[in-house]
Structure 1
């Protein structure tokens, strides 16, 4: 790995692991407990199996180092890990890479929105209202966590992701509410479905042409240089 380059193994969960070990040496079970206690599972997918696998992979690549084995009572042996110099460099480079430039993250919700017309209007409205309820709960949870952090005088740099996540939740909640009201009020056209079979009505005309959005100049070339108009 060259100077200033992010290590390819530094996944979101690996970032969380390296950041914990930057604080102090830990064994994987302690890492898992700490991540859950801090509600880091709101940011990354935290599972015991994937966490142990991540730690093992980081050790193989010398980004963390096993420095001791501890056994207490009848509990299984637990290996304590410490971050290495390479691991610290990889962590900082990966954070810088992510912050520097936005990249497509491919969230799944827009995919479902784009295909929501495949469901009857009544079902779409039911599902959207369910989502509104979940978003409202998550928004209240984010407010509670922020209030707790302020009350306990936790330095803001440690929970700066909370107001960001709250802003994302609030924006989505506002949009989904407006979209649901538009669909429910009839302002948004929707295909007719047979109320019994759930199939599209035979009277519903098919789209004349496929729907395509314009592609920004250079987008294809950026994705694959073989499509560039300029010879290398």
Structure 2
């Protein structure tokens, strides 16, 4: 076994499940859906199986048994190793403490939205908000369901986080729509825009912290 590569988000999720108890990859996938973690990491049965086998090759998990349900094929159960538990802790500390640029798609779309007409952008954002409100209602229902059944909050604190991010984005987009509607946000006709002002085209340089001596 060579040097262990940095843990991706799916690997972190897989190790987190196995840190709770041994299970097979499909059971891990069902748990991801149950906990709404498919909203924060791209997961499928196939990708989870590949992630687990990669972790096994790196010595972070190991096969601990097999089971069979009815006529289904045998499923291998995995458990986390001491090394896996250590690296999971290190990666979680890094993720919790250090902000990173996650390159959200909406940020790019908004930065280039001026290539479309104002009315079209308004309609597209209104459609997005409707979809977000439906998603938010689903998250609220799931939180109510978890509370009613006494499921410990520590296992689903990601759900209120997702709901808070949705509420913040909806509020921002509604404010943006109001600016478009009342003309506070100037909008050019696509294809007729004048070149950007030189001052606007050159962003300020971010201040760097001064090293302590």
Common fold, TM-score beyond 0.5?
yes
What is the aligned counterpart of 2:73 among 68, 72, 76?
A: 76
- Structure 2 residue aligned with 1:21: 18
Q: How does 1:1-232 map to 2 (within 5 A)?
A: 8-193=5-190, 200-201=191-192, 204-209=193-198, 211-218=201-208
- In structure 1, distance between residues paired with 2:145 and 2:114: 41
- Find runs of 4+ consecutive structure 1 residues off by over 6 angstroms: none
In structure 1, stretches of 5+ residues that fail to align are 1-6, 194-199, 220-232
Q: Is the partner of 1:65 in helix, strand or coil?
A: strand
Tell which deviates more after alignment, 169-178 or 31-40. Answer: 31-40
Deviation at 1:74, TM superposition (A): 2.9
TM-score (norm 1): 0.82
Could you say what the CA RMSD is over the residues aligned between the two structures, in angstroms?
1.8
Q: Give per-residue Cα distances to partners, 1:87-142, cap 9 Å, x unaligned.
A: 11111111111112212222111111111101111211111101111111122122
1:10 is displaced (CA, Å) by 1.8
Query: What displacement does 1:218 show?
Result: 3.6
Q: CA deviation at 1:217?
A: 2.9
Aligned residue pair count: 205
Q: Contact 1:70–1:79 (CA<8 Å) still a contact in 2?
A: yes
* Contact 1:67–1:81 (8 Å) recurs in 2: yes
Q: Deviations over 1:46-91 (max 9, x none)?
A: 1122111100110000100012233344322211101111111111
- The structure with the largest alpha-carbon Rg is 1
CA distance, structure 1, for counterparts of residue 41 and residue 181 of structure 2? 35
The CA deviation at 1:208 is 4.1
Alpha-carbon shift at residue 215 of structure 1 (Å): 2.1
- 2-structure distance, mates of 1:114, 1:216: 19
| Helix, strand or coil at the partner of 2:201 | coil
Q: TM-score, normalised by structure 2?
A: 0.89
